[in-house]
Chains A and B, each alone.
Chain A
Amino acid sequence: MAHEHKLAIFRGAWKFKSNVSKIWGVFAFLCIVTAIEVVLGIIKPESLTGTRILAMKALNWIFIILTLVKAYYITWDFMHMRDEWKSLRRSVVWTAVFLICYLILILLIEGDYIFEVYKDGFIKFNF
């Protein structure tokens, strides 16, 4: 069991004196990120929903990136990934990230293809 904790987040930009204060710091950060998401989700600024980056609304990119940021801090600080050995960290994170990205890629491409078939292929809504 790793007893020594790495006490800095944001690549060392925010240092903490104890593990407990680091936990509260990460909590504050997660709350801020969630608050930003909720506010954007309620307001839905026209400038962000109107512009598209890589076929997706800019707002949705912001949501997804903020989600990944939150996931990073939950895994790294709450699940103590920061204190684990590099080998454990990579076996867990790289495996999951690779498989999930691949699954998302093929399923979304397939879904978009079926959408096109419905739209242009004269097939009625049947399944």
Chain B
Amino acid sequence: MEATVAKTGTEGKTWGGGSRPLNASYGKMMMWFFIVSDALTFSGFIASYGFSRFKFIDAWPIADEVFTHVPFLHGVPAPMYYVAFMTLVLIFSSVTMVLAVDAGHKMKQTKVAWYMFFTIIGGAIFVGSQAWEWATFIKGDYGAVETNGGKIIQFLNTEGERVALRDFAKKLPADRVNHLEKNGIWYDTDAVTRSSYSLEEVKAGFLADENLLIRTQYLDENGHPTVLSREESVAKLVKDGKLVVEGANLQHNEYGHPLFADFFFFITGFHGFHVFSGVVINIIIFFNVILGTYERRKSYEMVEKVGLYWHFVDLVWVFVFTFFYLV
């Protein structure tokens, strides 16, 4: 009796099923699917950053003035160096990853394990640096005042150097009373962030020192923030000043437009989360390598698939680096 097997007439053809039309295994193929879709997610974020930046093109913070810190070097302005270091760490961990893949092709278990180990260390250094960068950004540096119109004004001396609030704000007798629910409207709460100086103290200090000027968020034709004259500065602060801002959060940002901080947190946070999950996945694969799972499977393809993900994280960082720190 003949078995009934449905024949489609496509056996042996490239797209007839049962073969690998793109010469990639199922797992690798799916990793590429994921990478393409994740790339679109990231480009959505970065493009919307570009959208907001173009929308406020004449008042966008200059990254060089925002990210000027290097750990253990307090007060030394060093734009770019730390983020360049982070970039190199990530590229280097990509190199050890691709070396692990290469060693996997040659079935060298110990080498794969060592390279995976270095990759994990590199990833951990990167995530740690990212956390430090966030902490510095959130803490802030000079402090600024937000105006009624939601713009940021920063303080300079007549030489054009930035002056921190702590250097000129006057300590006035404290009369600040916490707003408690029992004393008023129950849904009205105290300010989310409290600054170390009140607006009155900043104003008093500013009026007392003739050498202080204000610079606005708006860039002049050379791309530098506009500096006001002393009279304009005084008028601006007294008339428009509304809130003292120190550091950055999702609502206020001493460096300039709050959207800059929002996108910084969102994009580098999303990327940092990718790095973190990459490290976790790398650790799992690292233990699998040590336990000899892939030795028994006679294929280190899993290392290759994780490698694709890890390189993708590096690839995204290359773009984040350019659009947040360089351009």
**Closest chain A residue to B87, Cβ basis:** A34
- Which residues of A (31-82) have their CB < 8 Å from a CB of B? 31, 34-35, 37-38, 41-42, 44, 49, 60, 63-64, 66-67, 70-71, 74-75, 77-80
B43 at the interface (CB under 8 A from A): yes
Q: Tell me the bound Cα distance from A42 to B326 in angstroms.
A: 9
Q: When the two chains form the complex, which single residue of B55, B88, B314 contacts A74, counting CB atoms closer than 8 Å? A: B314
Q: Tell me the bound Cα distance from A53 to B123 in angstroms.
A: 37
Q: Tell me the bound Cα distance from A125 to B240 in angstroms.
A: 14
Indicate whether A108 sits within 8 Å of B50 (C-beta atoms), given known contacts A41-B325, A49-B223, A84-B24: yes
Indicate whether A114 sits within 8 Å of B55 (C-beta atoms), given known contacts A23-B98, A42-B80: yes
Is B50 a contact partner of A107 (Cβ separation < 8 A)? yes
Q: When the two chains form the complex, which single residue of B28, B36, B47, B311 contacts A104, counting CB atoms closer than 8 Å? A: B47
User: Interface residues of B toward A: which range?
Assistant: 35 or more
Indicate whether A125 sits within 8 Å of B79 (C-beta atoms), given known contacts A41-B325, A67-B318: no
Q: How far is the CB of B57 from chain A (nearest CB, A)?
A: 6
B268 at the interface (CB under 8 A from A): no
CB<8 Å pairs between A and B, sample of 9: A1-B304, A3-B105, A38-B84, A88-B22, A100-B39, A108-B51, A111-B51, A111-B55, A125-B151
Q: How far is the CB of B41 from chain A (nearest CB, A)?
A: 11
Residues of A within 8 A of B51 (CB): 107-108, 110-111
B135 at the interface (CB under 8 A from A): no
Residues of B within 8 A of A118 (CB): 55
Main secondary structure of the interface of B (DSSP, over half): helix
- A-B contacts counted at CB < 8 A amount to 146
B193 at the interface (CB under 8 A from A): no
Is A115 a contact partner of B57 (Cβ separation < 8 A)? yes
Q: How far is the CB of A36 from chain B (nearest CB, A)?
A: 11
Is B47 a contact partner of A103 (Cβ separation < 8 A)? yes
Indicate whether A88 sits within 8 Å of B318 (C-beta atoms), given known contacts A107-B51, A124-B149: no
A85 at the interface (CB under 8 A from B): yes
B293 at the interface (CB under 8 A from A): no
Q: Tell me the bound Cα distance from A114 to B54 in angstroms.
A: 8
Main secondary structure of the interface of A (DSSP, over half): helix
Is A2 a contact partner of B326 (Cβ separation < 8 A)? no
Is B99 a contact partner of A20 (Cβ separation < 8 A)? yes
Q: Which residues of B contact A (CB under 8 A)?
A: 21-25, 28-29, 32, 35-36, 39-40, 43-44, 47-48, 50-58, 64, 79-81, 84, 87-88, 91-92, 94-95, 97-99, 101-102, 105, 149-151, 223, 299, 301, 304, 307-308, 311-312, 314-315, 318-319, 321-322, 325-327
Is A1 a contact partner of B325 (Cβ separation < 8 A)? no
Q: When the two chains form the complex, which single residue of A24, A42, A99 contacts B79, counting CB atoms closer than 8 Å? A: A42
Q: How far is the CB of A106 from chain B (nearest CB, A)?
A: 9
Indicate whether A23 sits within 8 Å of B322 (C-beta atoms), given known contacts A99-B40, A125-B150: no
Residues of A within 8 A of B98 (CB): 23, 77-78
Residues of A within 8 A of B299 (CB): 1
Is A104 a contact partner of B50 (Cβ separation < 8 A)? yes
A8 at the interface (CB under 8 A from B): no
Residues of A within 8 A of B319 (CB): 67, 71
Is B102 a contact partner of A75 (Cβ separation < 8 A)? no
Q: Tell me the bound Cα distance from A108 to B50 in angstroms.
A: 6
Q: How far is the CB of B153 from chain A (nearest CB, A)?
A: 14
Residues of A within 8 A of B105 (CB): 1, 3
Indicate whether A38 sits within 8 Å of B32 (C-beta atoms), given known contacts A30-B91, A71-B319: no
Residues of A within 8 A of B301 (CB): 1
List 6 other contacts, CB 8 Å, given A27-B92, A60-B327, A107-B51. A1-B299, A71-B315, A74-B318, A75-B311, A88-B29, A100-B43
Q: Tell me the bound Cα distance from A118 to B92 in angstroms.
A: 45
B28, B47, B325 pick with most chain A CB within 10 angstroms = B47
Indicate whether A78 sits within 8 Å of B94 (C-beta atoms), given known contacts A1-B301, A103-B44, A111-B53: yes
Q: Tell me the bound Cα distance from A111 to B60 in angstroms.
A: 13
Is B22 a contact partner of A64 (Cβ separation < 8 A)? no
B35, B95, B98, B304 pick with most chain A CB within 10 angstroms = B98
